[in-house]
Chain A
Amino acid sequence: MRRWLIWTPLVLFALLFAIVAGGLFKPADRVVRSALVGKPLPDFTLPPIAPGKPGLSSAAFRQGQPRLLNIFASWCIPCAAESPQLVRLKAMGVPIDAIAIRDTAPALVDFLRRNGDPYDRIGDDRQSAVQLALGSSGVPESFVIDGRGRIVLQHVGDIRADDVATIAAAIRDAK
């Protein structure tokens, strides 16, 4: 057997040791920061789900006007809790589109009837495919997108009353 081949396992282990020791003594930053801010919105086209409401594609966010993209589902209870804030934002003139995650049409219609409907368009994401592409980990989650399709703000979790001003300001500044 060739000499160098015999030593490869030891060399590989030394490499592994260096990596692990480095990781141990220089602990990584464990706070999750949004890696998406400043990135363009991924391309997607989603079919409609609610009757009388168009589906959603990424082209809708490149028409010059900043918009709020809300990711929600009828089975998600914090989504129902955040809906009054969305209705308020809508009343303040913020255009809102949505992606419905793993949902069905009757459940969604029922949800909108009970919680109000601030959405211009709703895309149907049965497999969470767009949700994953967006790097969103759960529902609800909201993104502020500027008029050129770039993500300006990611809001993880439900929008509370205190968050309304921040989001409205982000929409205003994105103009």
Chain B
Amino acid sequence: MIAEAGLAALWFAAALAALQLAMAALGLWRGQAEPVAAVRPIAIVQGGLAAVAMAALIALFLASDMSVRLVVENSHAAKPWLYKFAGAWGNHEGSMLLWVTILGLAGGAVAILERRLPERTLIATLGAQAGIALGFYAFLLFASNPFARVSPAPANGLGLNPLLQDPGLAFHPPTLYIGYVGISVAFSFAVGALVTRDVGPAFARAMRPWVLGAWIFLTLGITAGSYWAYYELGWGGWWFWDPVENASLMPWLAATALLHSVTVLATRDGLRAWTVMLAVVAFSMSMIGTFLVRSGILTSVHAFAVDPERGAFILALLAIYIGGALALFAARIGTVRAGTTFSLVSREGGLVVNNLLLSVILGIVLIGTLYPLVAAGFGVQLSVGPPFFNKAAGPIALALVVAMAVGPLLRWRRDDAGALLDRLIWPIAAAGFTGAALVVLAPPGVLPLFGLSLAAGLAVASVLPLVGRNLRRTPLFTWGMVVAHLGIAVSLAGMACDSAYTSETLVAAAVGQPVRVGPYVVKLDGIKPVVGQNWSALEARLSASRDGETMVLRPQSRYFSDPVTTTSESAIATEWDGQLYTVLGQADGQGRWQLRLWWKPFVTLIWFGGVLIALGGALSLVGRWRRERRIAAREAYA
């Protein structure tokens, strides 16, 4: 019953999306009032129905209903409930359902909350949102039905991929998807504004909170995913330039650029065409990311199923939406009045530099991700890895950090280069001092040296906008910018420390044998078997001592029976100045055990910085919202 109800909700939602699109088109074309009035309520109900379908799928997973194919293929009755719940989206069909659910809910949220956009633009926006949803509903219903039954029902399921059996699965995909798909709102706004030729500061101010909201979740999702991969995969790395990581990074880069250009449009009415273009690109990157993952066209840890038919379906949707939006852009943008211009040394100029650098990084990541495909077309087999991305994107990212330090210290419209240098004295001094101190005390490589110095400079520069202000009267969105930029500095420092000062030891250790790693001496005390709800494991007891203090770590080598897989569960000790990361490997049959040990100084700063960046976004969002409310109240009073 639940499966049928879920499927019915999905069909109704699809039908409503079609209706929403038709009503919006009719209303805009003929200018009639009735269809226009219908669009908002339809959008709300459509989002609600998508949520009902998602809830039905979660209910099926929680109940372990083995007559549903998706549950059989991806779940098991003996699994802990959290993974039954999160397992609903730990597979192709479920994750696509989550995708459209968020798309529908985002459209519903726009219909409920958006009051400032001119009515025609809003209707066009909701029409565009319905158009996107319709395509992905069709994809679910015709090519990826999550509610299909099997008959006869098997006694039990095949189980979830054990790598996914982790609390990370409950948090990472939904957060990332809210960011990923939330950007669709910016796309729809851009399409709506192009349809009604209404690109200006009012449009930018209306779009900004949506971009900011999606961006916050995208930041959190990427940060969570990075930490999850770091501890779960047991390789000790926090970013692998895997195609799917790139697929989440690309929308983030585009959304970050958009976030800054939309500010120029809102404040100074500049960068009109560019902002619209970025809004289209940001969500296009989300869709391309979805395509890369779902089609299995690139080999990746995230590719659930290699399926060219589904790939072709999504590719067709991509061609319609992205191609359509870009064609609309080309046809209409010429008729949008050019915005105001500004001098190069100005806040706008700084933001343009930020946008250009972000776009270049985006281009590098896109080219690196797709290059294996291009090469395969010429019969060459290759993969593009960290050496390319780090070398190509690293220096530009550092240039971006410089721009980030300078930008907020610039005035709008026009500034004086000499006065700017005066303002930059402290950041430059901090960077120079850090660099010199590092070269003397513990010389790292070139890139980490620049990374740490610039991180110090940026940290100082990012708090300068607060200096000399009354902190309690400083607007929250200024605090947001300060915190987010400081977050980048913190994260960058963590990355540079990790790459420069990590020590790694690989040993086949006998019981009782001491092994040195970083400031620690680690001793293998013994190995014992342990049992969990659906796994058994060999657990090592390691005692790690440093400066006379000893702590115990218990890395495991886990054996899952459904499906049969072994995973290594790393044990990590977090200290104020870094992490000790331990992984248990195989046995050699003569009482020796393979151990991988890392000491990673200040590595936690990477994710702490990520959380700060998202927090900065949240402060900004609240700040903007409060100001809007104040303005609205004043207008109502007047």
Instruction: Assess whether A14 is interfacial by the CB under 8 Å rule.
Output: yes
Instruction: Assess whether B572 is interfacial by the CB under 8 Å rule.
Output: no
- Bound state CA distance, A77 and B596, in angstroms? 13
Chain B residues with CB under 8 A of A21: 315
Say yes or no: A77-B312 contact (C-beta < 8 A), given A9-B277, A28-B381, A102-B504.
no
Binds A, one of B322-330, B490-498, B559-567: B322-330
Of the residues B312, B327, B381, contact of A10 by C-beta under 8 Å: B327
Instruction: Assess whether A44 is interfacial by the CB under 8 Å rule.
Output: no
Name the CB-closest residue of A to B323.
Answer: A13
Within 8 A of B (CB), among A6-41: 6-7, 9-10, 13-14, 16-17, 19-30, 32-33, 35
A170 CB → nearest B CB, Å: 23
Q: Are A24 and B311 in contact (CB under 8 A)?
A: yes
- Bound state CA distance, A30 and B334, in angstroms? 46
Q: Are A20 and B315 in contact (CB under 8 A)?
A: yes
Say yes or no: A22-B594 contact (C-beta < 8 A), given A9-B277, A9-B329.
no
Chain B residues with CB under 8 A of A167: none
Interface size, chain B (Cβ < 8 Å): 44
Say yes or no: A77-B588 contact (C-beta < 8 A), given A6-B329, A19-B370, A19-B374.
yes
Within 8 A of B (CB), among A27-78: 27-30, 32-33, 35, 73-77
Of the residues A28, A35, A107, A114, contact of B376 by C-beta under 8 Å: A28
- Bound state CA distance, A73 and B322, in angstroms? 51
Residues of chain B at the chain A interface (Cβ within 8 Å): 273, 277, 280-281, 284, 288, 291, 295, 297, 299, 308, 311-312, 315, 318-319, 322-323, 326-327, 329-330, 333-334, 338, 370, 372-374, 376-377, 381, 504, 506-508, 585-588, 590, 592, 594-595
Instruction: Assess whether A91 is interfacial by the CB under 8 Å rule.
Output: no
Say yes or no: A77-B295 contact (C-beta < 8 A), given A13-B322, A16-B370, A102-B504.
no
- Bound state CA distance, A22 and B590, in angstroms? 52
Instruction: Assess whether A169 is interfacial by the CB under 8 Å rule.
Output: no
- Bound state CA distance, A21 and B586, in angstroms? 43
Selected A-B contacts with CB under 8 Å, 8 pairs: A13-B284, A20-B291, A22-B373, A24-B311, A32-B381, A77-B585, A77-B588, A111-B508
Chain A residues with CB under 8 A of B374: 19
A112 CB → nearest B CB, Å: 13
Q: Are B381 and A27 in contact (CB under 8 A)?
A: no
- Bound state CA distance, A29 and B378, in angstroms? 12
Of the residues A10, A74, A102, contact of B323 by C-beta under 8 Å: A10
Q: Are B295 and A24 in contact (CB under 8 A)?
A: yes
Chain B residues with CB under 8 A of A23: 297, 373, 376-377
Of the residues B284, B308, B381, B507, contact of A75 by C-beta under 8 Å: B507
Chain A residues with CB under 8 A of B381: 28-29, 32-33, 35
Chain B residues with CB under 8 A of A16: 288, 370
Say yes or no: A74-B508 contact (C-beta < 8 A), given A10-B323, A29-B381.
yes
- Bound state CA distance, A76 and B596, in angstroms? 11
Chain B residues with CB under 8 A of A111: 508
- Bound state CA distance, A172 and B451, in angstroms? 52
Q: Are A26 and B377 in contact (CB under 8 A)?
A: yes
B41 CB → nearest A CB, Å: 35
- Bound state CA distance, A23 and B381, in angstroms? 12
Q: Are A77 and B587 in contact (CB under 8 A)?
A: yes
A169 CB → nearest B CB, Å: 27
- Bound state CA distance, A6 and B273, in angstroms? 9
Q: Are B506 and A75 in contact (CB under 8 A)?
A: yes
Q: Are B273 and A9 in contact (CB under 8 A)?
A: no
Chain A residues with CB under 8 A of B312: 24-25
Instruction: Assess whether A1 is interfacial by the CB under 8 Å rule.
Output: yes
Q: Are B327 and A75 in contact (CB under 8 A)?
A: no
User: A76-101 interface mask toward B, CB cutoff 8 Å, 1 = contact, 0 = none?
Assistant: 11001000000000000000000000
Of the residues B299, B319, B377, B506, contact of A19 by C-beta under 8 Å: B377
Chain B residues with CB under 8 A of A114: 590
Chain A residues with CB under 8 A of B372: 28
B388 CB → nearest A CB, Å: 13
Of the residues A13, A14, A75, contact of B594 by C-beta under 8 Å: A75
Q: Are B322 and A20 in contact (CB under 8 A)?
A: no
B301 CB → nearest A CB, Å: 15
Shortest 8 CB-CB distances between A and B: which pairs? A28-B376, A23-B373, A10-B326, A75-B506, A77-B588, A6-B330, A75-B508, A77-B586
A14 CB → nearest B CB, Å: 7
Q: Are B333 and A20 in contact (CB under 8 A)?
A: no
Q: Are B507 and A17 in contact (CB under 8 A)?
A: no
Q: Are A77 and B508 in contact (CB under 8 A)?
A: yes
A136 CB → nearest B CB, Å: 15
A38 CB → nearest B CB, Å: 16
Name the CB-closest residue of A to B316.
Answer: A21
Say yes or no: A20-B273 contact (C-beta < 8 A), given A1-B334, A9-B330, A102-B504.
no
User: A143-155 interface mask toward B, CB cutoff 8 Å, 1 = contact, 0 = none?
Assistant: 0000000000000
Chain A residues with CB under 8 A of B334: 1, 3, 6
Which of B329, B373, B587 has its CB near the most chain A CB atoms (within 10 A)? B373
- Bound state CA distance, A32 and B381, in angstroms? 8
Say yes or no: A20-B297 contact (C-beta < 8 A), given A73-B506, A77-B585.
yes
- Bound state CA distance, A65 and B327, in angstroms? 65
Chain A residues with CB under 8 A of B330: 6-7, 9-10
- Bound state CA distance, A169 and B586, in angstroms? 32
